[in-house]
Chain A
């Protein structure tokens, strides 16, 4: 089980801020493929992953990063702080 968090327009498109996901995905990209296959709202959110960022256990990571040992995955658009 892994906690998956969504922020900003990713959260709005998927329609929830957080969910627990039962997955055997080895990498972030595998997880994205699993989620995309679920429903249209996921496909809409993940249509262009180059427009997204991912954090693993609250550290920025790549979509090719392994999920082994990771408890929390977050997807969000590029940050606009400051």
Chain B
């Protein structure tokens, strides 16, 4: 179950091209890419801190739960940490299943849990100062649907 936590950039296209190729029972692949968004127009960079050790364990447990619930043929999570600039890829998830409903749902489940159960913290560095990104209630509530 590939889970990668890394400072280095990743190539989304290459990751997708190589994903879910094992076996012929996969009829659906869903991939999601998260990027650094600049709402204010003044974001200089984003710094992502994480908890080495716990991060990998927490994501592994989330991915294992997704695989169990939706019977996934393959799952991939890549999440970066360190300094990122606006527009850069932060993270991706990919899921492979027999049918699309399972692949879509599992990808959403992974995203919902990664947002509030994987130990990452984002800090936005803007021209006029720096601030930690606050967790939002909707992200916590999103877990209730699962």
Residues of A participating in the B interface, judged by any CB pair closer than 8 Å: 5, 7-9, 11, 55, 58-60, 74, 76-82
Contacts and interface: CB of A to CB of B under 8 A. Distances in A.
Given A7-B49, A82-B34, A76 B132 contact: no
B115 A81 contact: yes
Interface in B69-124: 79, 90-91, 111, 114-123
Contacts of B90: 82
A79 B122 CA distance: 8
B132 A81 contact: no
Contact of B134 (A55, A74, A80): A80
B1 interface: no
A81 to B, nearest CB: 3
A3 to B, nearest CB: 12
Contacts of A74: 51, 54, 119
13 contacts: A5-B51, A11-B49, A58-B58, A74-B119, A77-B135, A78-B140, A79-B115, A79-B116, A79-B119, A79-B120, A81-B116, A82-B91, A82-B114
Contacts of A80: 115-116, 120-122, 132-135
Contact of B49 (A8, A58, A78): A8
Nearest to A8: B121
Nearest to A9: B132
Given A79-B120, A81-B114, 17 more contacts: A5-B51, A8-B123, A55-B119, A58-B53, A58-B54, A74-B51, A74-B54, A74-B119, A76-B119, A79-B119, A80-B115, A80-B120, A80-B132, A80-B133, A81-B118, A81-B119, A81-B122
B107 to A, nearest CB: 12
Contacts of A58: 51, 53-54, 57-58
Contacts of B58: 58
B120 A81 contact: yes
Nearest to B121: A8
